[in-house]
Amino acid sequence: MKELQKASDVLDILARNLPKAANYFFSYMILQSLSTSSATLLQVGSLITWYIIAPALDSTPRDKWSRNTTLNSVKWGAVFPVYTNFACIALIYCIISPLISVFAILTFGLLWLAQRYATIYVYRFDHDTGGVLYPRAINQTLTGL
């Protein structure tokens, strides 16, 4: 706590300690991209619903038919924070450690492929947002920086 007594020393402390965390964020981005993209492709919630919940709850043919013909909708509140967090990490650490740019490209490439597949074949969209989500994502990223 003595080091934080002077406000001018905070920037020096950050300058010394921030590069040490770069290795953590390399592994964090790769681990999260692999787990998030695989979870998007595997659809664990749908598997649990299909094999465990549906046989227990669906007793009539109408219930079974409605569960089989309805698709999941996208929950943007769970999707955007992950991508915004990765973008903030990549933008902050690309100056300190340029190698993270390679990991960021791999991360966003994997997430793009998984999300593209899910968007085309898995999800349905309740309503068209008309491009309003892009400025919101940019605003969240800049706020995170």
pLDDT tens per residue, range 69-111: 887 888 888 888 889 999 999 998 898 888 899 999 999 999 9
State the DSSP string of 83-137: HHHHHHHHHHHHHH-TTHHHHHHHHHHHHHHHHHHHHHHTEE-SS--TT-HHHHH
Select the more confidently predicted residue: 3 or 143: 143
What pTM did the predictor assign?
0.76
Element (H or E) spanning 72, and its range?
Answer: strand 72-73
Quote the pLDDT of residue 4. Answer: 67
pLDDT band at 19 (very low <50, low <70, confident <90, very high): confident
